[in-house]
Chain A
């Protein structure tokens, strides 16, 4: 009950329309099982860690899609570059465009592309390399954001540890104060009081 109240107080993590709230809850539950947060501050940090991890997953997905969507243009460019000698840019561009489109679905086109690459001792990895090169500026931005998020996730985890250690220290000190305090009835004094009363 307490957990539900505290979660209701914390601002809801915003998700994209296409993202699943159930999957987000599953990530949060996994972290809660692992960290076992107690109190609103610890829950706040766990909530933060989940939001960060969720964003990391989102950016990683995005990174893969950025590379994949650059494949078509990358292949077109490669095929133009590897055109047979004597063929003009205009004709090579048209043929390359058609072959690159077909490469995604047609086995025959895939074979032709492999043959073309093979003539220059290249493999299919050359297409991926060109796709990465074409999207390097976007990938660099995504990487910077990922690095920043990962460092914040680690910091949030360290903050939970720091907070717990500080809380434990305080609890120890409070317990010591209670034990040493004058207002606490000591056992021997209590027993002497009892004997006096008798």
Chain B
């Protein structure tokens, strides 16, 4: 069986190669099509990132701001000072928590949207997208009026007598988590919805007809088939949460620190070398974690598919 399969695969590959060559210059064609985007990314992203990396090895001088040097002191400062490592762990904690909550909240909603045959489906989808029409800062401003000590929420709770003193939500981690979830949820819902839509309904019906309950079906059929999309949604959400700026600044207040605002703060102080180092720590951590998650899931996915 295995031998036959491998033979068929290599035959298919050869046929594909022949077909490509017959079309003539398809490789050239492909590179021409890829070139503009590659060039844009190289010039607009890779080059500035390399410059930033170089800055992160420079020295800071209060008078001259940035002095050319090759030193690791900015990174050492970050990793040896508990203040900065705390900021890092807070960021990671908030990002993971928000991603998890988004996943749990988005899954049922995405499922209903994907399987809905209502003529209002497009309206429902629009309602999910609607919050994205408003900028993050504006949305945070909305939360501020809701969460403030004399905001709508506290006023209502005080009025009905549920609480005696106003709840302190503004300028806490709670407020940031709620704000970030609200920002990221539509992304998660949309990603999951499109993936679930691609899973044939018949696979679920087959499971049900074989006696699986809804829970078993979700666990054994829906979850594994939707896994690539779930990973995409989780990664998207996680990256957005790790790099959140407006929400932690506006809802977290001055005493709450996350990496995004920390990077900005260092550049405001004109401490470019340290700002660059913090930016690199954030970027590397995000990349490594998303890469690791991706690899892990791919590994399990492949193992799950093998007979």
Are A and B bound to each other?
no
